[in-house]
Structure 1
Amino acid sequence: MLAKAFGLPSYLIWNPLTFLIRSYLLENSCSCPACGSENFVKDGHNERKTMPDMQMLECKDCERNFSLRAGTIFYWKHASMGELFLISWIFSIGGSRRLVRKWICDIGSYCASEWFERLEKALGEANGIVPRFLDGFFQADEMEIRSFGERPLIMGVKRSDGKIFETPIPGDSALEFKSALKAADQEIGPILNLMTDGHTSYPQATEWLGITHYPVNRSEKGFVDEHGFHANGVENLWSHERGWIEAARGYNSMKTLRRAVKAHQTYHNHIKQSAAPVWSFLKILSNN
């Protein structure tokens, strides 16, 4: 698929990458999907004309035969594991379904949508494992985008160590801000103190949640007030990530837009900031 697009023989890139992923799965995250046992042996390859060869395994406890890809994002019949890993990486960096779909469009829009959903869910499920942070100081901001004929907001909350929370919300009412901030508190909180711009919904939302609010009205006080409070950190986040979010505008519902945004949150918190981004990415994809 990708090899054909670039005019390269697959063995130059995808086969070595597939071999590395196969070795990683065998050593770190492979278990029987029926009984959960890690007591298995190799059992040849599942060779089909319409799909890349798959390493098959046999469970020594329940005697079930299963694929090495089972339970991972790589369990997809249209490409090798090396191709899928590279496509996933490109999508996570760029955010554009349109760009990635060019390489997989020949298998049909339904199959492509199914794969995107699996990838985004696999990444999004990792959002609940950010270590708790006790500093308590956070910054929040919102960005309006155009998608599926609407103008939803993307709310971003950033804590002082760089971890972020992102979610789309359909409007800018205090109730919707409250729901988003409550979700942020659960994922990267506890939020004790929140610095924001002068949006009128933050005071009520933070009062409901018992959060101390520090608004900075830029039209009156500039970007930093006399007490040193500001939201520059999350503003800088938006300036760097705006391209990714704009590339994700092509989603056709709030549900699919949310999946994309939460997948991006995982990429930022667990992969981009890690010491070994590629291995962190592979670990997340292999465990889902």
Structure 2
Amino acid sequence: MKIISLQDIRKAFSTQKKCEAYLRKARWPKGVTCPKCGSKYHIWMPEQKRWFCKDCRHQFSLTSGTIFHRTKIELPKWFETIWLMCNSPKGVSAKQVEREIGVSYETAWYMCKRIRTAMKHNVFQNGLCGIVEVDESEIKTTGKGGGSDKNTVLGLFERDGYLRMEVIENFKSLTIERVVAKNFDQVETIFSDGAHWLRFLSKYGKHEFVQHYKHYVNDEVHINHIENVWSLLKRGIVGVYHHINTKYLQAYLDEFSFRYTHRKDKGSMFDKILVFC
């Protein structure tokens, strides 16, 4: 479905029934299956608006196990918020969601938080492969008492693929390697700067590094993509959110990673959220 504006979303999903039909197709493209055992043998119970699985006797609804489950917020508003979060390059604040879809700030914040969970599930579904750029940065957030915190963040970017960012304790090799080990799959070449704590990367593939004081770009040996990520992320934090609580930084990193990963195929973002919701 080609949707290029919020007005398109409102027209296509103007009612709860339209949203339910689309969500059902996104969740179960080959037919409804039990989320507990995977069985296709079930009975629809119209009064309860639930299915009863004949094999494991589990009862489930269209929204069971999703970010929409047990919320009083109607699906049209969820769909509008998902579209806003997917199609705003630097992100969208809860305050903007409040204005756009007509809910309270608390409701908007709650919805954004749950949608970020679905984004995380998509970003972390596969290991990184091929050529990967590795870099680290410091991100400022608001800590307890309103003070400023500096957070160490590791970035892993698979060229033409997934972006991962994770808050880490420090820049030590052992700390970074724990993140690398769980995210690398079939990595062939790794590019990073010349920091000594990244020298261990040669264990995971061909490791080449760029010395910024000597040259900025050397053919394919560069980390320009991940450095561009830091620039976009920091501008988004200041320009859109103004400040982020330290406690929620990882969730915002997951949101940014999802949007950046699928930046060349914005039309698919909406459906990907529904699949992983």
Considering the TM-score relative to the shorter chain, is it more than 0.5? yes
Partner of 2:193: 197
Distance (whole Å) between structure 2 residues aligned to residue 200 and residue 131 of structure 1: 25
SS at match of 2:270: helix
Partner of 1:122: 118
282, 285, 288: which one pairs with 2:274?
A: 285
Write the deviation string for residues 155-194 of structure 1: whole angstroms up to 9, x where unpaired. Answer: 2222233432222223323333223322331xxx433432
SS at match of 1:272: coil
Q: CA RMSD in A?
A: 3.8
Q: Judging changes above 3 Å, is the alpha-carbon distance between structure 1 residues 127 and 237 closer, same or farther for their aligned structure 2 residues?
A: same
CA contact (8 A) 2:91 2:236 kept: yes
How far did residue 150 of structure 1 move?
1.3
CA contact (8 A) 1:140 1:234 kept: yes
TM-score, normalisation: structure 2 = 0.71
Give structure 1 stretches of 5+ with no counterpart.
1-5, 47-55
Provide the identity percentage: 20
TM-score, normalisation: structure 1 = 0.69
CA contact (8 A) 1:123 1:285 kept: no
CA contact (8 A) 1:196 1:231 kept: yes
Distance (whole Å) between structure 1 residues aligned to residue 57 and residue 177 of structure 2: 51
Partner of 2:166: 167
Distance (whole Å) between structure 2 residues aligned to residue 155 and residue 66 of structure 1: 39
How far did residue 196 of structure 1 move?
1.7
Distance (whole Å) between structure 1 residues aligned to residue 167 and residue 134 of structure 2: 13
Distance (whole Å) between structure 2 residues aligned to residue 268 and residue 100 of structure 1: 20
Write the deviation string for residues 64-107 of structure 1: whole angstroms up to 9, x where unpaired. Answer: 77543222222253422121122123234343444356358966
Aligned pairs for 1:148-227 (under 5 A) are 148=142, 149-185=148-184, 189-203=185-199, 205-206=200-201, 209-219=203-213, 221-225=214-218
CA contact (8 A) 2:191 2:208 kept: yes
CA contact (8 A) 1:157 1:164 kept: yes
Distance (whole Å) between structure 2 residues aligned to residue 124 and residue 16 of structure 1: 27
Number of equivalent positions: 256
CA contact (8 A) 1:18 1:80 kept: yes
AA partner of residue 243 (structure 1): R
Distance (whole Å) between structure 1 residues aligned to residue 128 and residue 140 of structure 2: 33
Write the deviation string for residues 243-264 of structure 1: whole angstroms up to 9, x where unpaired. Answer: 345546744335x321221233
Partner of 1:87: 81
Distance (whole Å) between structure 1 residues aligned to residue 204 and residue 127 of structure 2: 22
SS at match of 2:134: strand
CA contact (8 A) 1:248 1:257 kept: no
SS at match of 1:161: coil
Question: 2:257 aligned with 1:265, yes or no?
Answer: yes
Write the deviation string for residues 124-163 of structure 1: whole angstroms up to 9, x where unpaired. Answer: 1223433763x3x322222322113311133222223343
Question: 2:17 aligned with 1:22, yes or no?
Answer: no
Q: Judging changes above 3 Å, is the alpha-carbon distance between structure 1 residues 14 and 24 closer, same or farther for their aligned structure 2 residues?
A: closer
AA partner of residue 224 (structure 2): N
Partner of 2:140: 146
Distance (whole Å) between structure 2 residues aligned to residue 224 and residue 12 of structure 1: 45
